[in-house]
Amino acid sequence: MEIISENKPFAYKNQDIGQGRGVYISTYGCQMNVNDSDRMYSLLEMANFTPVDSPLEASVIIINSCSIREKPVHKVYSEVGKYRKLKDANPKLKIGIGGCVGQQEKEKLIKNQPMIDFVFGTDTIDTLPDILNDLILKEESKDDKKNRIVKAGFAHREPYHVETLVRNPGVSTFVNITKGCDNFCTFCVVPFTRGREKSRPKTHVLQDIHTLVKRGVKEVTLLGQNVNSYESECGTSFADLMKTIAKETGIERIRFTTSHPKDFDQYLVDVIAEHQDKICEYIHLPFQSGNSRILERMNRGYTREQYIEKINMIKKTIPNVVLSTDIICGFPGETEADFQDTLSMVREVGYETIFAFMYSQRPNTKAAKFEDQVPDAIKSERLQRLFDAHNTMAFDLAKAYENRILDVLVEKKHDDESVAGNIKFSGRSRQNKLVYFEVPAAHSDLIGRTVNIKITKAYPAVFRGDMVGSIN
C-alpha cells in the first residue's frame, strides 16, 4: 500500500497559521507505517499537539518514510524541499523524519538537509513528545546544532510493550502483535529497519481488543511482519492467540497480515476454519518467486512444491478461501524460465489479488551484493507481463461474484457522491472486497453494521451491489 502525499508547492496563506501546535504527518509505505503514524498522532495529541489535515496549518511536519523498495532517501529530500516556503514564512516550523529512512540514515539526513530538525526511528516513536518538547524548549538557543535531535536506536526491552493508541478507531483498525523480523530474506531491508522480532504479551493484545470493542470497533487486523511466528511470553502461538480473541472478545471480524508460508501450518488453518464466524477467509500469503532455486537464494525457507502443498492444505480445509500474494520480478539471477515458473504459479493458485514489484537493491541486504543483477528493462517488462497475465484471470475471478450475496461491514458514507434521496456507502466483504452500494436516505446510520449485498457488478478492485434482507 503506497500513500503518496500531494505533490504541490506549499505556501502559507496567512502568517498566523502554522504558529500553534498543529502536527501534520505524511505517510509512506505499508500498513505498519500507517499504524505507526496513527500512534504518533495519538502520542502527540496526549502531549497537547493537534493533528491537522494540511502542512499549511502545521507547526510540526513529520515524514513517516518507507525504504522497502523505492529510492526512499531521495523521496524524503524532495518532500522536505516542498516545505521550503513554509519554513521561510515560519522559521519555528519543525520538520522531522521518522520511519525506516530515519532508522537507516540517522544523522546523515540532518547533515545533508539543514531544513530537517529531528530524526527518529521505528523503535523510538514513543519519544516523539519528548523530542518536540526538547526542540521547543531549546528554541531560544542560537546554537543551530543544539537544536537538532536524532533518536534512532533500537529499544532492548523484552517483550514488546506497546499499547494500541488509536485516535478515531472507526469500524476497522489495526492491532500490532509483533514487530521486527528475524527471517532475513536476502532482498529485504526490514530486519535492519525494524530490528529483531518481538511479540507483544497476549494479555496486552486482548486488553486492547476489549477496549476497541467498547469504542465501537467491529473488525481488527492483527499486524506484524510475520504474524505466524508470534509467541507470547507464556508460549501462546499465533493460532491460539486468534482462537482466544475469537472466543473471548466481542470483536466481530478478525483479519491478519502478513503471513509467512514457512510458518503457516495445519493447526492455524484448522483454527481459521473452526472460527469462520469471526476469522475472515482471506489469506495473504506472499510467495515472492515460483522457482525453487530463486526461493533458496531469497532465503525464503520453502520450495515451490512446499508452498503449493500449503496452498492445497488451506484450500482443502477452507474451501471458500480467497488468496492474495506478493511477488518480486527480476530478483538477481532470475532467468526467463524462472520467471515462467512465477507466471505458472499465479495461474495454478488462482490468486484474486497480487502485489507485484520489481526487485530493488536495498542497503545491507545480501542480494544487493549478488553479481547477477537483472537489468531494469527486463525487470519492468516481466512485471508488466505478470500484471497482464493476472489481469485476464482477475476479471473472470471477479465476475464469479456477480449475483452472490456478500456480508459487508459498512465503513464509509459518501455524502458527496449520493444523489436523488439515496445515500452511497462502502464497506468490505469477508473476502476483503471493497463494495459500494446505495440505499434510500432513510438508512442513514449503516456505519458499523453488517449488511447483505447482492453483487451486481464486479471488477477486480471494486464491487457494486444492492442491499438485500435485514440489517445486522
Confirm or reject binding of residue 395 to ligand SF4 (CB under 6 A): no
Residue 185 touches ligand SF4, criterion: CB under 6 A: yes
Q: Residue 83 or 359: which CB sits closer to ligand 5AD? A: 359
Nearer to ligand SF4, 188 or 246 (CB): 188
Shorter beta-carbon distance to ligand 5AD: residue 232 or 360:
360
**Out of 2, 14, 184, 355, the residue judged to bind ligand SF4 by CB under 6 A:** 184
State yes or no: residue 226 binds ligand SF4 (CB under 6 A). Answer: yes
Q: Toward ligand SF4, which CB reaches closer, 166 or 298?
A: 298
Letter string b/e over residues 225-243, b meaning 16 or more CB atoms within 10 A of that residue's CB? bbbbbbbbeeebbbbbbbb
Beta strands 198-199 and 178-179, pairing class: antiparallel
What is the strand order of the sheet 353-358 is part of? 282-284, 322-329, 353-358
Determine the Cα–Cα distance for residues 88 and 84; give it in Å rounded to an integer.
6
* Contact assessment for residue 164 and residue 215, using Cβ atoms and an 8 Å cutoff: no
Nearer to ligand SF4, 55 or 191 (CB): 191
447, with CB counted inside 10 A (0-12, 13-18, 19+), is: middle
* Position with the least CB separation from ligand 5AD: 326
If one asks whether residue 426 binds ligand SF4 (CB under 6 A), the answer comes out as no
**Angle formed by the axes of helices 266-274 and 238-248, to 10°?**
10
Least distance from C-beta 392 to ligand 5AD, angstroms? 22
Shortest approach of ligand 5AD to residue 328 CB, angstroms? 5
Q: How far is the CB of 187 from ligand 5AD (least distance, A)?
A: 4
User: Which residues, 6 or more positions from 143, have their beta carbon under 8 angstroms from its beta carbon?
Assistant: none
Give, as ranges, the residues between 242 and 261 that touch ligand SF4 (CB under 6 A).
Answer: 260
Residues 466 and 453: beta-carbon distance below 8 Å: yes
* Alpha-carbon span 209 to 64, nearest angstrom: 26
Three cell numbers written together for 249:
472478545
Which one of 9-17, 187-195, 199-207, 433-441 is the stretch in contact with ligand SF4 (CB under 6 A)? 187-195
Binding of residue 225 to ligand SF4 (CB under 6 A): yes
Q: Which CB, 185 or 283, lies closer to ligand SF4?
A: 185
Nearer to ligand 5AD, 386 or 439 (CB): 386
Q: State the binding partner of 191 from ligand 5AD, ligand SF4, none, CB within 5 to 8 A by kind.
A: ligand SF4
Contacting range for ligand SF4; rule: CB under 6 A; set: 21-29, 186-194, 337-345, 450-458:
186-194
Name which of ligand 5AD, ligand SF4, none residue 218 binds, using a CB cut-off of 5 to 8 Å depending on partner kind. Answer: none
Tell me whether residue 273 or residue 368 sits nearer to ligand 5AD (CB atom). 368
Cβ 346 to ligand 5AD shortest distance, Å: 14
Residues near ligand SF4 (CB under 6 A), total = 10
Write down the least CB distance from residue 190 to ligand 5AD, Å.
7
Minimum separation from the CB atom of position 96 to ligand SF4 (A): 25
For residue 249, the minimal CB distance to ligand 5AD (Å) is 28
Taking the least distance from each CB to ligand SF4, the nearer of 59 and 225 is 225
CB of 70 to ligand 5AD, least distance (A): 9
Per CB under 6 A, residues contacting ligand 5AD are: 68-69, 187-188, 286, 288, 326, 328, 357, 359-360, 362
440 dihedral zone (left: phi>0; alpha: psi -120 to 50; beta): beta
Count CA atoms closer than 13 A to 366's CA, side-chain side.
10
Q: Whose Cβ is closer to ligand 5AD: residue 236's or residue 360's?
A: 360
Say which residue the cell 481488527 belongs to.
Answer: 220
- Considering only CA atoms, give the Rg of the chain: 23
CA distance 26 to 40: 11
Contact between 191 and ligand SF4 by CB under 6 A: the answer reads yes
Does 291 engage in binding with ligand SF4 (CB under 6 A)?
no
The residues binding ligand SF4 (CB under 6 A) are 181, 183-185, 188, 190-191, 225-226, 260
